[in-house]
Structure 1
Amino acid sequence: MKKSSTDLIYYGLVYFITCLAILVTLYPFLYVVSVSFSSVSAIDKQQVFLYPVDFTISGYKMVLQYKELWVSFYNTVWYTVVGTTLNIVATCLAAFPLSRSHFFLRRKLNFFIAFTMYFSGGLIPLYMLLTTLGLYNTRWVMVVPVLVITFNVMICRSAFEGIPKEIFESASIDGANDITMLFRLAVPIVKPTLAVLTLYYAVFHWNNFFSALLYLGNQELQPLQIFLRRVLIMASPEIMQRMGGATSTGALAVSSLQVRYVSIVVSILPIIMIYPFIQRYFVKGITLGAVKG
């Protein structure tokens, strides 16, 4: 069909706004990467705009030899892998009964779960509770309090509700119990939704900064985001010297701006590498179980 002039103007505006949004969001990332691979002299002379100038990996060599980086990196990987695994299991166990129409507590539990989205006990009571339970300064304080996120449970519940009831009725006639129907039938069917929830949980754990700031005083347990905070906000000659180790003079010679940008790239690289493998599930997983019509 031939488009009218109004349609052409509309589509032109849409494409222009889309390209502008891509530039606004993509350029800062490209600039950070370019600075991280550029030489100190090029950075000092402000010659870096879009691509690396005088390509070098000296900044990466300096940052990656810092022991605390690897300790915090390991902690973040542990929190992300263990936390996301437990999150997905707990979310499925919570969402599946709520999706079953014959579950007698379905309405009441749905109300109480939705209630927690808008009201909470507050930060101080939560801190006192976690301290009383002995979770302070332990790895589990980063996992247990966020074991289930209400919004994700509701998404998973909607996905389970979209499965035809006949499938469960047939499985029940064959002697399958609820656990079998959950893990053998429901979970494989809603796999796209679970892939998206896995991404949500993984990104949340990877970027979880506030909980670590409150509940983890031991540096040996702190995640990568706390390390990144010290580099970005609290960067000082002392930190630069510690990064340099035996070659502290070389560390001080490297621009603090470059060190900050290298740390940013190192912290976001794993998520960027994982995302393409589950991207194909993203749109399908979000729309699965949504209201159609």
Structure 2
Amino acid sequence: MSKFKQTSISDIILDIVIYTSLFILTFSIIIPILHIFSVSLSDSEAVLGLKVGIWPVGFTIESYSKIFTTKLIPNAFKNSVIYTLVGTVINLSLTALTAYPLSKKELTLRKLYMTLIIITMYIGGGLIPMLLLIRGLGLFDTMWSLILPGAIATGNLLMLRSFFQTIPAELEESAKIDGANDFLIFISIVIPTSKAALATIGLFYAVGHWNSFMGAIIYLQSFEKMPLQVILREIVIKGTRLDALAYQDPLESMKSEAWSTRMKYATLFVSMIPMMMVYPFVQKYFVKGVMIGSLKG
């Protein structure tokens, strides 16, 4: 009985530690987001006087009005959405189509294929050869230069392969008895069974596309094709004002430091919205999906 009580007390202490840690972690994430949102909705005087905490002071939507009335940010936002959606669909399709046959032990030269794929995790061609390849294929300054080079991530491929190996072979055997071919089995049985894995890996791919900016800096020349993250880099890191980036009248681009800060924070918050909207819909798959690489080697 005393052992049971001792175990219960230890469980309670463990729960307290876990929930306290989660609360601190959540608090440390939410507070900066609230501060960014509040600064973007506050007036310049309050921002300049460092009066803004987690609640707007001198409420105004001027920053957001400026963002959406200037073509620069909406166009970059549209580019990022297109690159992310198209890229994620291509990523998931090619990763799943490659991982499925590699999960089958009867695949001819399976070990050779796996060895060649794993080598790519440690050895890359380098930036200059990749740039020459992109130019040679006619992909330079196009959307495909950001999508096709990373169409399959080796780590995600290996995780999805591991998940496919956990699918009971009896399901596929019964489908074959009914006359289904490999492609029909893949579409009607494997894909529906792998929703958690696909949702998790899809989220990894989508976040990668959304946050990527290095590829755009290297492979894109046309400013109107730049994704939102490149514009954010210009605004936040270089401190460039929105009006200057939009090539408007130089007199109009001379804003105060407070105005520049408000614009930076408003743009930052706008860039967070898509991922914050997507995550709740895939959250139910995420807990199960993140374990896919540890289920079977």
Asked if the contact 1:98/1:110 (under 8 Å) is kept, the reply is yes
Partner of 1:171: 175
| Offset of residue 10 of structure 1 | 5.0
2:111 counterpart of 1:111: no
Alignment of 1:175-186 (within 5 A): 175-186=179-190
In structure 1, which of residues 7, 18, 22 is the aligned counterpart of residue 26 of structure 2? 22
Partner of 1:268: 272
2:21 counterpart of 1:41: no
| Offset of residue 250 of structure 1 | 9.2
Matched letter for residue 205 of structure 2: Y
* Structure 2 segments unaligned to the other structure (5+ residues): none
Partner of 1:256: 260
CA RMSD for the aligned pairs? Answer: 2.3
2:140 aligned counterpart, secondary structure: coil
Alignment of 1:232-247 (within 5 A): 232-236=236-240, 239-240=242-243
2:290 aligned counterpart, secondary structure: helix
| Offset of residue 125 of structure 1 | 1.2
Measure, in 1, the Cα distance between the counterparts of 2:292 and 2:240.
49
Asked if the contact 1:66/1:244 (under 8 Å) is kept, the reply is no
Alignment of 1:40-189 (within 5 A): 40-189=44-193
Partner of 2:36: 32
Measure, in 1, the Cα distance between the counterparts of 2:286 and 2:105.
28
What's the TM-score once normalised by structure 2's chain length?
Answer: 0.90
**Deviation per residue, 1:207-263 (Å, 9 max, x gap):** 1111001101111211111111111123346x4356696896598256111110000
| Offset of residue 15 of structure 1 | 3.9
Matched letter for residue 141 of structure 2: N
What's the TM-score once normalised by structure 1's chain length?
Answer: 0.91
Measure, in 1, the Cα distance between the counterparts of 2:27 and 2:183.
48
Aligned length: 291
| Offset of residue 290 of structure 1 | 2.9
| Offset of residue 19 of structure 1 | 2.9
Measure, in 2, the Cα distance between the counterparts of 1:288 and 1:129.
34
Partner of 1:193: 197
2:276 aligned counterpart, secondary structure: helix
Asked if the contact 1:66/1:242 (under 8 Å) is kept, the reply is no
| Offset of residue 285 of structure 1 | 1.4
* Structure 1 segments unaligned to the other structure (5+ residues): none
